[in-house]
Structure 1
Amino acid sequence: MAGPRRPQLRNGTLHADLCVIGAGSGGLSVAAGAAQMGASVVLVERGRMGGECLNTGCVPSKALLAAAAAAQAARGAHRFGLDVPEPQVEFARVRAHLREVIAALAPQDSAERFEALGCTVIRAAAAFTGPREAVAGGQPIRARRFVLATGSRAAIPPIPGLAALPFLTNETLFDLAERPAHLLVLGGGPVGVEMALAFRRLGSAVTLLERASLLPREEPEAAALIRAALRREGVAVEEGAAVAAANPGPEGEGVELEFDQDGLRRSLRGSHLLVATGRRPNTEGLGLELAGIAHTPRGVTVDGRMRTTNRRVFALGDVAGGPLYTHAAGAQAGVVLRNALLGLPATRDDRAMPRVTFTDPELAQVGMTEAEARKAGEAVTVLCEPLAHNDRAVAERAPEGLAKIVLGGAGRVLGATLVAPRAGEMIGLWALAVQQGLRIGAVARLVLPYPTLSEISKRAAARFYTPALFGPRTRGLVGLLQRLLP
């Protein structure tokens, strides 16, 4: 069996079929796929292999949430007749847990693995020097196709005084040596609410400040359940709070935020500040102009095939704008591979792109929200089913949640929102329904195991037929048939 095709050095320039700039989740997916399909690949990464997801994003945040959930489970054991002492959180061991999880997953993303696949890995920053050339670590590279997968970083709002403070972002949060006494979280999106919950459960006082409303992209009913869950666990949630200034705390200890809320100026002190107000794409220093690649503050401009304005260069993941999810970058990697290597006109399809906020309960969504469907002019029908009617949820004493399904004409599934424990594990059914354009009857006819949380989806779907099935016409028909049938 022939070995992998490798890039060739000719006259000082490294020649390859494909050069991938950025070794985060999207870039690694393209590089691995291309190498295994027989292409010669150069993979360039200036930072840590695995990018944000492995090192400062999805992986450590979910490991932290798992530790926090274990602590909360001990506190709630009395509901089941169990007496468990208050957990003693040793933050250094929690941090070690995060490191162990990252280390366990790191080999899959390592330079050694990709070298073994046949890639040439260059650990340096890259920049274009022309439409078909780039340089990384002093090494000129010429490739038939390039892929930009440089990701994003935390967007820092222009708040007076903030830049002078030692604030935290996701890039520094997981390096904390000690548990914050009082963590201020700026931003009420998924990262903000997840980390607010995690640190509260690990023993920190937590105040979350959001300029508008919590989780503004989500269905209002779903966001309200998450808001209530946070407050129930002791997170102070301040919505409509526009931060006007950031200052050092007394004697230089901690931070103090001044914010306007309900027409009043208020101030709040904390030991630490986490800024979670969005992301900005990593486009600086790439020489995009030299390569003829258009970009905006939202990222590199791409078409449906993930091609930039330089048709030899593709971009995917956070640097190409939304949606900013690891699984979105993975899906886009498949589009890039089919276009760049096989010449197939594959296009992206974000209609069925799910998202999950990993709170407790989790909030999972796919497709259109009710407001989006109405704005699009759809003939909207909404089905709602409370989790309190689900036997498994009652047995586990976790009845707070719902399923909200948005339908278009003829009962076609347009979108779904689930709020429930492990909702992220259940949203796949609705992602399939949206992707395939299924009607609600396909879900209503499913037979699901009892007792499971997933039954909430079938019960919600069945609501579409309830008015007709149990209405007066059906009752009249059944009464007539009972008189006529032998």
Structure 2
Amino acid sequence: MSETYDLIVIGGGSAGLVAAGGAGILGARVALIEKRALGGDCLYTGCVPSKTLIRSAKFASDVKRASEFGFEISDFKFQNGSFASISNRVQSVIKTIEARDAPEVFEKMGVRVIFGTPRFVNPNEIEIMLKDSGEIKNLKAKRFCIATGSSPLVPPIEGLKEAGFITNEEVFELKDLPERLVVLGGGAIGAELGQAFQRLGAKVTLVEMAERILSKEDEEISALMTEIFRTEGVEILAETKAVKVRKSEKGEKVLTIEKGEKTREILCDEILVAVGRKPNTHGLDLEKAGVKFDDKQIFTNERLQTSAKHIYAAGDVTAHFQFTHTADYEAQIVLQNCFLFYPFTRKIDFRVVPWATFTEPEVARVGLTEREAREKFGKIKTIKAAFDENDRAHAEGETAGFAKIILHKKKIVGASIVGLRAGELIHEFVLAMRHNLSLADLNKAIHVYPTLSKITQAVGTKQTLENLKSPFTQKWFAGYLKFWR
């Protein structure tokens, strides 16, 4: 006989944990189904391990810059086993954070945690092959939330599978540093890991099909990061297509690339594929549930309902924004909509979604880029403040970058930052856009000196100075001074 729940959540990643945990705390009868371990991609193969690896890479970079800070360190290099030690530290950080997502934590919230492989039998019932025993268990529910996440997309390159490659799912388990690494994809994952491995001692070649790396970001930011990467030794091949891979007689991987009519072969020890993500829908038998999907996403409406209205989807599997913070946000929407009725349900609102790429310097953005804003509004205004004008940036020895704010009729419609701690600094503009605050409003807040956040005030000050220098203001104040004197 099938067990019946108020809500069954399929997938124990970021979205699934938020949805299941929230429902359990509210007192709902909820089951959480996960194939492997709670925590998902972010914990095991994404955000956590990548930022931990990046921290080690930054340390290596800082040591090489020791003389800039008054130290002399000679002959700095990796010893035998150094990269294995870095990988061990990555796994150690994962283990520390893993405890927060332990099954017992969610069981105390009232969640039934079941490990196994689920599939829909009909729109109201799933069948689970239990992970430990292989037994089949059937569960029914009034509502479902599909939060199965995404997996690396592997491009159909001739010989790639035969020659071998790694993705973000294997890279953090490496025990030996590849001497020559080719990264396919110049987006966030490719850029972060490419720079990190170059700093750790690999010779990195980054291959990107688009005209520039970080193509979703402001063009000035892409140009600056390209310059920085090349200065650090990363070879960047934009507008370049990987067409074939083979193994040499020596066991090396030989990648054939194509740019226009020219071809070239690159010898490497490893190929890291970072060209995008695909939804984890295989094996769910969504057709039996009446859920529409394709190879890119599960389709949802503004309330995150699928084509079967009692079945919701959240996180990477929807392909809206594949970030942990948006997965959390979507899960909150699902939680509210599962248990409440109109007018207390909510629609998703992606107008103000920030993100960051944790290269060095960091890149962060919310809203529109300059090009997007011009295409949408026509007449806009941009205001920039450079980190070179920030006193704390000079003290830190990190003056590369700038903040660029996009205004349409005095309203902030976009903000892009490239610089030290950009991922932290972007939130002031997120708040401003969310609550329709102007630069003048932000400038009224007293910012601690000397901090990097003074760059926010610097942007506002630039706008204020422009306004004070306008012919109208100058003329008006000149007249006022005559009266005042």
Match of 1:135 among 124, 127, 131: 127
Measured after TM superposition, the shift of residue 50 of structure 1 is: 0.8
CA–CA separation in structure 2 for the residues paired with 1:461 and 1:482:
25
State the superposition RMSD in angstroms. 1.4
* Structure 1 counterpart SS, 2:170: helix
Contact 1:243 1:258 in 2 (8 A): yes
The equivalent of 2:133 in structure 1 is none
TM-score by length of 2: 0.95
The equivalent of 1:392 in structure 2 is 392
Change in Cα spacing, 1:393 to 1:320, as seen in structure 2 (3 Å) is same
Measured after TM superposition, the shift of residue 472 of structure 1 is: 4.2
The equivalent of 2:23 in structure 1 is 34
Contact 2:27 2:110 in 1 (8 A): no
1:53 aligns with 2:42: yes
Output aligned runs, 1:284-363, within 5 Å. Answer: 284-343=282-341, 344-363=344-363
CA–CA separation in structure 2 for the residues paired with 1:60 and 1:131:
37
CA–CA separation in structure 2 for the residues paired with 1:98 and 1:46:
23
Contact 2:42 2:324 in 1 (8 A): yes
Contact 2:398 2:420 in 1 (8 A): yes
Q: What CA deviation, in whole Å up to 9, does each residue of 1:114-165 have, x standing for no partner?
A: 2222221111111111111111121111011100000000001111111212
Q: What CA deviation, in whole Å up to 9, does each residue of 1:294-323 have, x standing for no partner?
A: 112221000111110111100000101120
Match of 2:58 among 37, 44, 69: 69
Q: Aligned residue pairs: how many?
A: 473
CA–CA separation in structure 1 for the residues paired with 2:37 and 2:248:
34
Moved more, 455-464 or 207-216: 455-464
Contact 1:378 1:408 in 2 (8 A): no
The equivalent of 1:380 in structure 2 is 380
Q: Extract unaligned runs of 5+ from structure 1.
A: 1-11
CA–CA separation in structure 2 for the residues paired with 1:155 and 1:219:
25
Output aligned runs, 1:48-447, within 5 Å. Answer: 48-89=37-78, 90-137=82-129, 138-212=136-210, 213-251=212-250, 253-343=251-341, 344-377=344-377, 379-409=379-409, 411-447=410-446
CA–CA separation in structure 1 for the residues paired with 2:249 and 2:484:
85
Q: What CA deviation, in whole Å up to 9, does each residue of 1:169-200 have, x standing for no partner?
A: 00111111111111110100000010011111
CA–CA separation in structure 2 for the residues paired with 1:465 and 1:86:
50
CA–CA separation in structure 2 for the residues paired with 1:151 and 1:83:
47
CA–CA separation in structure 1 for the residues paired with 2:427 and 2:361:
17
The letter for the 1-side match of 2:215 is P
CA–CA separation in structure 1 for the residues paired with 2:17 and 2:28:
14
TM-score by length of 1: 0.94
Measured after TM superposition, the shift of residue 376 of structure 1 is: 2.2
Contact 1:407 1:414 in 2 (8 A): yes
Q: Extract unaligned runs of 5+ from structure 2.
A: 130-135
CA–CA separation in structure 2 for the residues paired with 1:378 and 1:315:
36
Measured after TM superposition, the shift of residue 454 of structure 1 is: 1.2
CA–CA separation in structure 2 for the residues paired with 1:77 and 1:234:
19
Contact 2:206 2:236 in 1 (8 A): yes
Measured after TM superposition, the shift of residue 444 of structure 1 is: 2.7
Shift >4 Å, 4+ stretches: none
The equivalent of 2:461 in structure 1 is 462
Q: What CA deviation, in whole Å up to 9, does each residue of 1:275-308 have, x standing for no partner?
A: 0000000111111111000112221000111110
The letter for the 1-side match of 2:121 is T
Measured after TM superposition, the shift of residue 231 of structure 1 is: 1.2
Moved more, 467-476 or 354-363: 467-476
Contact 2:351 2:367 in 1 (8 A): yes
Measured after TM superposition, the shift of residue 107 of structure 1 is: 1.2
CA–CA separation in structure 1 for the residues paired with 2:456 and 2:310:
44
The equivalent of 1:8 in structure 2 is none
The equivalent of 2:32 in structure 1 is 43
Contact 2:256 2:264 in 1 (8 A): yes
Measured after TM superposition, the shift of residue 250 of structure 1 is: 3.5
CA–CA separation in structure 1 for the residues paired with 2:72 and 2:476:
56
* Structure 2 counterpart SS, 1:228: helix
Q: What CA deviation, in whole Å up to 9, does each residue of 1:202-245 have, x standing for no partner?
A: 11111111111201110000111111121121111111111111
Contact 1:45 1:123 in 2 (8 A): yes
CA–CA separation in structure 2 for the residues paired with 1:450 and 1:406:
25
CA–CA separation in structure 2 for the residues paired with 1:229 and 1:392:
21
The letter for the 1-side match of 2:451 is T
* Structure 2 counterpart SS, 1:376: helix
CA–CA separation in structure 1 for the residues paired with 2:289 and 2:470:
66
CA–CA separation in structure 1 for the residues paired with 2:363 and 2:448:
22
Contact 1:302 1:315 in 2 (8 A): yes
Measured after TM superposition, the shift of residue 369 of structure 1 is: 1.2
The equivalent of 1:450 in structure 2 is 449
Measured after TM superposition, the shift of residue 166 of structure 1 is: 1.5
CA–CA separation in structure 1 for the residues paired with 2:94 and 2:475:
64
CA–CA separation in structure 2 for the residues paired with 1:413 and 1:308:
33
